Structure 1
Amino acid sequence: MREILLFILTVWNIIVFAVYAVDKRRAQRHAWRVPEKLLVMQAILGGGFGAFLAGKICHHKTRKWYFWLTWLVGLLIDLGLLVLILR
């Protein structure tokens, strides 16, 4: 069961990373964007690691304080989930 939960958490973080990367690409092309509410919710709902990495690697949403706060909360939630899964 642990392996399945770790797999789900990993896949979710990859998806969140991809959504942030797609949003960055769309921003560069002045195309339709992913709503910020969705980006925030994904980070808080177990995608903090993926969101943080995407922010750092893609240089996306790094100037907005509330995204930094969201990433920190998301990372703490991810850490808590890892502790629960690995117990």
Structure 2
Amino acid sequence: MDIFTISFLIVINLVTLLLCWSDKRAAVNHTRRIPERLLMLLTIAGGSAGMLAGMLIFRHKTRDARFRITVPVVLVAETIFCILFYTLPHNA
């Protein structure tokens, strides 16, 4: 993997994890929440590991079937994509 991809994945997963924590805190305190659409968009954009970590660490969105199903499926799909993309030969 190149440095750009690794950096992107680290940043998007940290951002997703922090937003998950922030949304959980907002839910507990009954303050303004992070839109679910944004959390799901970040998950699909590469932050699935961060979202899954946030779900497990902060016990957040674990009752929501959309997150409970989508996040692990996206994580597996992203992992398979990365493995295939970075191991198969490319014709350039």
What's the TM-score once normalised by structure 2's chain length?
Answer: 0.83
Q: Is residue 2:7 matched to residue 1:7?
A: yes
- The structure with the larger Rg is 2
Distance in structure 1 (CA, Å) of the matches to 2:67 and 2:39: 9
Runs of 4+ in 1 over 2 A off after TM superposition: 84-87
In structure 2, the gaps of 5 or more residues are 88-92
**What corresponds to 2:60 in structure 1?**
60
Q: How many residues align?
A: 87
Overall identity of the aligned pairs, in %: 32
Distance in structure 2 (CA, Å) of the matches to 1:33 and 1:13: 19
- The higher relative CO (CA closer than 8 Å, separation ≥ 6) is in 1
**What corresponds to 1:74 in structure 2?**
74
What's the TM-score once normalised by structure 1's chain length?
Answer: 0.87
Deviations 1:40-83 (A, max 9, x none): 11111111100000000000000111101221232024313532
Report deviation, 1:3: 2.2
In structure 1, the gaps of 5 or more residues are none
Distance in structure 2 (CA, Å) of the matches to 1:43 and 1:8: 13
